[in-house]
Amino acid sequence: MDVHLPQEGRDLDGHRRQAVAEAGEGVADTTTGNDGTRPLVGITDYVEPPADLEREAFPEAEFCFLDDWRASPANRDAWRGCDALLVWHWPVDRETVAVLDRCRIVVRYGVGVDLVDLPALAARGIPLCNTPDYGTEEVADTACAMILAVQRKIVAYDRACRAYTEGWQEHRLVPHPRTSDCTLGVVGVGRIGTAVVNRMKPFGFRILGYDPYQPSGHEKAVGYARADRLDELLAQADIVTLHCPLTAETQGMMSREAFAAMKPGAALVNTARGGILDGLDPLEEALRGGRLAAAALDVLPDEPPKQHPLVAAWRADADGVRGRLLITPHAAWYSERGWVEMRSKAAETARLYLMEGRLRNRIGDEPWSRSE
């Protein structure tokens, strides 16, 4: 049963009893809620009713769609009554955690946990889990498409040849090395990074990977050359593709210093997190100054993008960025199947813990692999 909680006047315990009664005899009488009723799972944002995919994955639970707890006492009570939260982009900050009186687990629909106050959850004994495997194929495919588009200058040719009024085939964009003469640098060789490595090997790239959180020998098992330092990778790679989450360590990692360390004429692909860029100023300087030949971005520091000269130039298809800057609207993760997997897997994770006491994909149990 799905309920979109009203702004005012909700009788939480009454709703629980009514939902159990309406479920009928065909539903098992589970008693895993903190008050002995069926567990109540709150969906904080983005996902719209009905919670059909979540309910299929967690049939013993009831689901509710939460409104901003700050807006009214009734909303606050609704959050307090949830046994689990499924979170998209809602900031689970210290103030939000303080409201979670009954909550036993928080599950992120996606991978990143940069909007979650981990110490605040830990202080209340609430585990945080994410859903790291819902869109591995989609993001890897998008990254590879961007890599090849940059390497074979697909977008650059598309933009340039619109202006060809004389001649055709004799127009060439240079320099344009053969793919097998190029080095692909993969920053973060976790699930998605590994998928990119496996997809790109047949194209002939020399593949260099940097991931200090992967054990020694991982490069031999997957098949890439290991860089021990980020600057070592940046100095050698013709194309750098990012596959690390946003953490205190990676925030602003692609700074002016990082772009200066890149091989002149290299390209950057980012399907990971926009905050890995240290804003758009260093990227614009690297593009306009020629240090960077091209950039392909599925993620930006601010989404939707705020006003910035680089964004304005991209929108206008202006000289200096035309054919050199490719932007997509944080869509690398999406396919219909990926959407289903993300929602189902998040609900399954909540079910495993509330019904069986099993935690999967917990954040904080061990040093988190800093690669997606």
Distance CA 182, CA 125 (A): 49
pTM: predicted TM-score of the whole model, two decimal places: 0.85
The Cα–Cα gap between 105 and 362 comes to 10
* Residue with token string 């199947």: 337
Structural domains for the chain: 2-134+337-356 (3.40.50.720), 136-327 (3.40.50.720)
Q: 252-260 contacts: CB < 8 A, separation 24 or more? A: 252/276, 252/277, 252/278, 252/279, 253/278, 254/278, 254/282, 254/283, 255/282, 256/282, 256/285, 258/230, 258/231, 258/234, 258/282, 259/283, 259/285, 259/286, 259/291, 259/292, 260/291
Say if residues 270 and 276 touch (Cβ distance below 8 Å).
yes
Which tokens belong to 289?
């100054």
What amino acid positions are annotated as catalytic residues? 273, 303, 330
pLDDT tens sequence for the chain (372 residues): 454 443 333 333 433 333 333 333 223 333 456 556 899 999 999 999 999 999 999 999 999 999 999 999 999 999 999 999 999 999 999 999 999 999 999 999 998 898 999 999 999 999 999 999 889 999 999 999 999 999 999 999 999 999 999 999 999 999 999 999 999 999 999 999 999 999 999 999 999 999 999 999 999 999 999 999 999 999 999 999 999 989 999 999 999 999 999 999 999 999 999 999 999 999 999 999 999 999 999 999 999 999 999 999 999 999 999 999 999 999 999 999 999 999 999 999 999 999 999 999 999 854 443 455
Q: Give the pLDDT score at 371.
A: 52
Query: Which pLDDT belongs to residue 197?
Result: 98
**pLDDT the model gives residue 66:** 98
pLDDT number for residue 3: 47
Measured between alpha carbons, how far is 211 from 268 in angstroms, rounded to an integer?
17
Helix (H), strand (E) at residue 103:
none
Residue 37's pLDDT is 81
- Asked if 362 contacts 333 with a C-beta cutoff of 8 angstroms, the reply is no
